[in-house]
Structure 1
Amino acid sequence: MLIIDSPSTNAYFNIASEEYLLGRFPTEDIFLLYVNAPSIIVGKFQNTLAEINLDYVQEKEIKVVRRMSGGGAVYHDLGNLNFSFHTLLADLDFGDFSQFTQPVLALLNHLGVPAVLEGRNDLLVDGKKFSGNAKLAKNGKMIQHGTILLNSEMEVLGDALKANPLKFIDKATKSNRARVTNLIHYLPEDTTTEQLKNLLTDEIIRNNPIAQRYELTPEDIRGIEKLMAEKYETWDWNFGFSPNYSFQKAIKVPAGFIEMHLDVVHGIIEKAKIFGDFFASKPIEELEGLLIGQKHEVATLEELFSEIDLTEFFGKVTLEEVIEAFK
């Protein structure tokens, strides 16, 4: 087994490294550890916009990254340790999460934390979740990865993942907003993610005496950064990959009531219908037509609307007011 400690706290880099390592080490077992600066990691099959508080995420400059595995959205920050096991799929039971959560539980139980695996893939203490786990199979290998909330900013976690469930109607996987807790309440209050990382690494080595530490080479880093730029930093992967959905939102502005209905396919607006009690000097169907083919993304729509006199469609409105109907 190779033990790899990521040198980066960039979520784009770390999520890309998981895919890169599948190709770099097609047969070796790997134990990867990383810590991300504030970021939201969404499951492969989720509708990103339905999972996040977009305004808050943009204001706080929180990265949003889609991972390769399914499951729900999670918030990462420097108080959260992430672990990832890579192994040959072989005869392993893909639905069994116990094998690779056991080292985490063994360590925590040894430290006096009454942690348990409960349900399909969650680690709990006193009935509250501190670790969610997910899996994927690709190229004959399996990755099981999970989070460990040590001292994460719970207020930010709650605000960043807060979304209005009435705005989206889709078939994507919705995150389970379980009660969560930090392990810092059960460990010495000065425990750091670095210390927890070292303790977990020692636990892995105890169970795998021939395990070797591996440091990413400059070639590895270039490969990860290439994959990051081509995939994990892109709107197409993080937002456009989202399943088809219908978006509905109503807003009240001084010019009147505006109700937006969109059908979105892989992030692109395919149908648009606008209702309201505003007064328009131009047919609203013209604006609906301009929306077709556009990304359902604030920056794209701001660029479109900056070239249009929106008052011709809605009366006395500002670009900022109209944009709210699309968020």
Structure 2
Amino acid sequence: MYLFDQKRNGQEVRDPRYNYAIASFLANELQLDEPIMRFYINQPAVIIGKHQNAFAEVNLNYLEEQQIDLVRRSSGGGSVYHDQGTLIYGFIGKNDHASYQDFSRFTQPIVRALQHLGVKEAQFGGRNDLLIHGKKFSGTSMLVNDSKVIVGGTLLLDADYKTLEQVLTPNKKKLAAKGVKSVQSRVTALRPYLAKEHRDITIEAFRKLLIKELFAVDQLEEVKVYSFSDEQWRRIDEIVQKQFGNWEWNFGRSRQLEYRRDERFSFGTVEFQLTINQGKIQNCKIYGDFFAPGNLTDIEKALLGVSLKQKDLLDIFNQFDLRKYFGDVTAAELVAVILS
């Protein structure tokens, strides 16, 4: 079995768009004589399932403020938050037609490795989770095609509960969306359960220990490594541009969403009632109790067909003298209401 080399030009790849492009390439395009395993860390990102509505799953304003990426993966399931306290693993091997939905076959080696590191309470539970005292520290997904089985999972070494709650808690004010919703689960981090000698390790050191356990080696140099060529990295660039780094893939595939957003300003309340389809405004009505003389139909028409991107919305509102239509308000403040 190979261990995938996560480095490009000597630098570890932590961009989630690239990491999902790598996963796609390994699963769909690369042919190997042996299975391959990878362990990687993403910079802060929300990962949503293939069939989910991005606008119904996350707090877009918070993502913008904190510069957190959103990436839609190619497989189903719910939304998760990754940061530098999350170790992600993936396994790609030949389909032996005996693996479908047999999660324990792939998770038990992880459980045994964690138990050797002191996490005696770790166990496989539910349909595809790893648990400690009933709390989830790892979720697993599986995809099987004619030739390969692809398994992926996360290991939560440290949990940023505050950010987790913020990013995966969109404003539910009068919101109705079509699409698969995430199910919130009780989660726990692994660090408190590690043996004392491992409890202060970095996530990079945790990864090394886990790899040595899984590959049954004393030194990492004993593990057989697979590295991409320059040509393969160029193919990864193409996949990022076409899919995982593309706004249309990450946001534009969202199904119809209808919601109301309102905010109280010094001059009165402004309310937006919007229908969003494929990431663009399909219908728009603006209401309020303010006294500005402008005809709001002008702005409503201008917003039709506009993508729900901060920059695109700002471009529209900046075309108007907003005092004439609303009162003392800026384009940025109105966009913040829509994306709240």
Q: How does 1:119-134 map to 2 (within 5 A)?
A: 119-134=126-141
Shift, 1:294, TM fit:
0.5
For residue 17 of structure 1, what is the amino acid of its counterpart? I
Number of the residue aligned with 1:177: 184
Query: Does 1:232 find its partner at 2:244?
Result: yes
For residue 101 of structure 1, what is the amino acid of its counterpart? T
Number of the residue aligned with 1:33: 39
Number of the residue aligned with 2:256: 244
- 1:241 and 1:26 map into 2 onto residues whose CA distance is 30
Number of the residue aligned with 1:213: 225
- 1:135 and 1:286 map into 2 onto residues whose CA distance is 49
TM-score, normalization: structure 2? 0.87
- 2:320 and 2:22 map into 1 onto residues whose CA distance is 42
Q: How does 1:298-317 map to 2 (within 5 A)?
A: 298-317=310-329
Deviations 1:42-75 (A, max 9, x none): 1111112222222222222112111111111111
Q: How does 1:121-200 map to 2 (within 5 A)?
A: 121-137=128-144, 140-166=147-173, 168-187=175-194, 188-200=198-210
Kept after mapping to 2: 8 A contact 1:70/1:136: no
Kept after mapping to 2: 8 A contact 1:43/1:73: yes
Kept after mapping to 1: 8 A contact 2:139/2:153: yes
Deviates more, 1:317-326 or 1:59-68: 317-326
Query: Does 1:66 find its partner at 2:76?
Result: no
- 1:171 and 1:129 map into 2 onto residues whose CA distance is 27
5+ residue gaps, structure 2, are 8-12
Query: Does 1:326 find its partner at 2:338?
Result: yes
Q: Closer, same or farther in 2 for the Cα pair 1:39/1:139, shift >3 Å?
A: farther
SS at match of 1:46: coil
Deviates more, 1:63-72 or 1:47-56: 47-56
Shift, 1:139, TM fit:
6.6
- 1:137 and 1:253 map into 2 onto residues whose CA distance is 53
For residue 143 of structure 2, what is the amino acid of its counterpart? L
Q: How does 1:69-80 map to 2 (within 5 A)?
A: 69-80=75-86
Kept after mapping to 1: 8 A contact 2:85/2:203: yes
- 1:164 and 1:282 map into 2 onto residues whose CA distance is 29
For residue 3 of structure 2, what is the amino acid of its counterpart? I
Deviations 1:97-141 (A, max 9, x none): 222212211111233311122222221112221112223345743
Kept after mapping to 1: 8 A contact 2:114/2:210: no
Q: Closer, same or farther in 2 for the Cα pair 1:317/1:139, shift >3 Å?
A: farther
Kept after mapping to 1: 8 A contact 2:61/2:336: no
Kept after mapping to 1: 8 A contact 2:258/2:275: yes
Kept after mapping to 2: 8 A contact 1:103/1:200: no
For residue 88 of structure 2, what is the amino acid of its counterpart? N
Q: Closer, same or farther in 2 for the Cα pair 1:211/1:140, shift >3 Å?
A: farther
Shift, 1:76, TM fit:
1.4
Shift, 1:145, TM fit:
0.9
Number of the residue aligned with 1:12: 17
Give me the identity figure in percent.
Answer: 37
For residue 53 of structure 2, what is the amino acid of its counterpart? N
Kept after mapping to 2: 8 A contact 1:68/1:136: no
Number of the residue aligned with 2:302: 290
Shift, 1:89, TM fit:
4.0
- 2:181 and 2:29 map into 1 onto residues whose CA distance is 32
Deviations 1:172-194 (A, max 9, x none): 22222222121111113222222
Shift, 1:211, TM fit:
7.9
RMSD: 2.3
Query: Does 1:23 find its partner at 2:35?
Result: no
Q: Closer, same or farther in 2 for the Cα pair 1:58/1:324, shift >3 Å?
A: closer
- 2:173 and 2:140 map into 1 onto residues whose CA distance is 27
Deviations 1:183-236 (A, max 9, x none): 1111132222223322332343349xx983212222222221221122211211
Q: Closer, same or farther in 2 for the Cα pair 1:280/1:88, shift >3 Å?
A: farther
Kept after mapping to 1: 8 A contact 2:99/2:149: no
